[in-house]
Amino acid sequence: MERADTVAVYGMGRIGSIISASLLRNGYTVIGVDVDPDRVEGLSHGEPTFPNEPNIDSVLNKAVNEKRFKTTIDGNSASKESKYKVVTVPVYLTHNEPSYKSLESAAQAIGGGLQKEDLVSIESSVPLGTTRNVIMPLLEAASGLKAEEDFWLSYSPERLFEGRGLQDLEENYPKVVSGVGPKSLVAAVKFYERIVNKGVLKLSSIETAEMEKLMEGVYRDVNIALANELALICEKAGIDFWEAMDTANSQPFSHLHRPGAGVGGNCIPVYPYFIMRAAKCHEQPSEIIEEARELNELMPRHVVNKLLMLFIKRRRNVKHITILGLAFRGDIDDDRASPTYSIVDRLEKLGISVRVHDPYVRKPTRPVNLISDLGESLKGADGIIIATDHSVYRDLTVAQILKLSGSDPLIFDARGVLLKEKGNPNLSILGIA
């Protein structure tokens, strides 16, 4: 590998794999860095990464055979061997406070191998000020070099939608790019222009770029909370939320999102806390953001209560419930922070046996009674909750569900996937009384 054309990508999860594939397709050589030795070993032998991300596996495997892509757990050596370093290591929440441990570890490893005129680009979604106040000092201390004088430091947030990541990166969106100074900005623009066809948006500061990424996610969180609140009001008022929503969205200035059982993933539920933290530091209220997050976090409880009320009204007992969907969004295999887990916890605390079906998730992030066969998961269920809008569930009918269950279950659809069946006596839908 020629160092001048080599990129070390830190964090080989979904985002890191997508970015690596794009870099490889556009002529760079790549060193994938990850702390998980099994992940590193699997990538080096062509094991599937994310099957629902088109073209990723084929690009990575081809590059392995061409000796243009290798993986390692040694972040320091990867930094020494590469001119460019792209960081996708996440900042997690611990008790609603950011945990920088993984990101700091990556920065220290990079700093140990950093050389003059190298570019470090942070793509992780981070709290405001992280790049300048957390990452930059670590890089400078570990390398003995100065940002903007000796090496270049940029922040360029990933803007990828799961299931079409490579297309989003290369074709759908312009790349947001910022630098700690003008030299860093020029270096980052030159680096990214090679892989994105929509061009780059050059922002005036690192902090502005950090903020715009958080704003993208918070917009969606608040919009989903608005949809959830309107759905709850419609339930009480005896109004069909879905009919009202579709009609409202026929007006070009209205773009209501769909309600649901909650908000999952490692993005939308996290970003509001980053912004709320900044607001608190600057003594600025963030009431809308806070209330939206609270409402979305309460939705799993509403889903459980709604289903249990159906049993009370029908004077029926409930012992076994099946939840359809573990992924936090339809047609993906990502179950991180899925609201389904909160639903499971609430039901099990009530002594109810719970089974979960998902056509995509194979390795849950925490223990759950996951059954891959739909018929087996539904068999004998007293109640069913549809928590994820997978396409396969949209193809079902209530009659098919009843047949597969072999019983007479009550169904609560928290995602509106069975709207074509509204009015069925076995079915209740979020947002419809």
Task: Map out the domains of the chain as residue ranges.
Answer: 3-204, 224-429
Whether 11 has a pLDDT exceeding 90, the answer reads yes
Average pLDDT, the chain: 96
Contact (Cβ atoms closer than 8 angstroms) between residue 188 and residue 154: yes
CATH number corresponding to 224-429: 3.40.50.720
pLDDT, tens digit, for every residue of 192-230?
999 999 999 999 999 999 999 999 999 999 999 999 999
Residue 156: helix, strand or coil by DSSP? coil
Confidence label for 163 from pLDDT (cuts 50, 70 and 90): confident
Centre a 10 Å sphere on the Cβ of residue 317 and count the other Cβ atoms it contains.
7
What's the pLDDT score for residue 394? 95
Sign, Cα dihedral of 359, 362, 364, 367: positive
158-162 long-range contacts, Cβ below 8 Å, gap at least 24?
A: 158/15, 158/18, 158/19, 158/88, 158/123, 158/124, 158/125, 159/213, 159/216, 160/15, 160/18, 162/14, 162/52, 162/53, 162/329, 162/332, 162/334
Confidence band for 47, pLDDT divided at 50, 70 and 90: confident
The rounded distance, in Å, linking the Cα atoms of 433 and 300 is 18
Average pLDDT over residues 367-374: 96
Q: Which residues contact 287 (CB under 8 A, 6 or more apart)?
A: none
Structural tokens at position 111? 């700093």
- Topology agreement, domain 3-204 and domain 224-429: yes
Under CATH, which architecture does the 3-204 domain have?
3-Layer(aba) Sandwich (3.40)
Residue 226, C-beta contacts closer than 8 angstroms, at least 6 positions apart? 256, 257, 292
Q: From edge to edge, which strands make up the β-sheet containing 6-10?
A: 69-72, 29-33, 6-10, 84-87, 119-122, 152-155, 175-179, 200-202
For residue 285, pLDDT over 90 is answered with yes
Ramachandran region of residue 210, left (φ > 0), alpha (ψ -120 to 50) or beta? alpha
Q: What letters, b where the CB count within 10 A reaches 16 and e where it falls short, cover 62-82?
A: ebbeeebbbbbeebbbbbbbb
pLDDT tens readout for residues 23-39: 999 999 999 999 999 99
Cβ pair 426, 410 in contact under 8 A:
yes
Tell me: pLDDT of 309 over 80. Answer: yes
pTM: 0.94
